Amino acid sequence: MLYTTEDYWLFFNQKKCMICQLKHADRSTICRECQHDLPWLQYHCLICALPLPSDNNPCPACLRKKPVFNQAYCAFRYEFPIDALIPPGKFNNRTDYLIALSKLALLNIRLTKRPDCIIPVPMHPQKLLKREYNHAWLIAQEISRHLQLSLDTKTLQKIVHTPNQIHLSAKERRSNLRNSFNCRSRPPPHVMLVDDVITTGATANIISQILKQAGCKRVDIMALARTDKPPTA
């Protein structure tokens, strides 16, 4: 039997899957069996990406009142093991989790319209100093490389240091984020805003409104995962 260079590379570069911890020879840090078992987002709202039981249609909340952003893209439902991988990637310096999930997500997301640039949800300097990295920037960097689009970290800034939103309701999230972002310059016509998870869509709506008030015509959202909470406009 003849072996290729790739066969030898895979044999000598086996790694442990970050989910099941078993050794595998796949180039991803998540083995193929675990990739198959991930909670991929299949049926969802065509606007906010809310998980639906069947068919891809606008959800009732978006039919009643469309969000400020135009369309959301997510690869996963926010369920196990995604909900066990994203928090340490966000808070505990396990950036390898975010990068691995970003690479997998990009293989399964198809854009309907190509944006002009990628903008990660900004972090307040005080929080960035404490955490040492912006998780949204890491995800946006992978998206920027994959789509060959510019990564814009200058146009949007967070000017108010707000409390963590994990345990806040939709109303509390909107109040928490009000007047906390600022657009420093005129954005391009079509922006892709990037974050880790879409929960109620409060952050996406507030930033989309700011970008559109500054001259942007279309704002799409890309995140790794989507919870089952309906959007709030």
What would the pLDDT profile of 173-222 be if each residue is shown by its tens digit?
Answer: 666 566 789 999 999 999 999 999 999 898 999 999 999 999 999 999 99
Supply 49's token pair.
């990406």
Predicted structure pTM score: 0.87
Contact (CB, 8 A) for 158 and 180: yes
What would the pLDDT profile of 18-48 be if each residue is shown by its tens digit?
Answer: 999 998 877 789 999 999 999 999 999 999 9
What would the pLDDT profile of 166-180 be if each residue is shown by its tens digit?
Answer: 655 556 666 656 678
The backbone torsions φ and ψ at residue 6, rounded to the nearest 5 degrees and listed phi first, read -65, -35
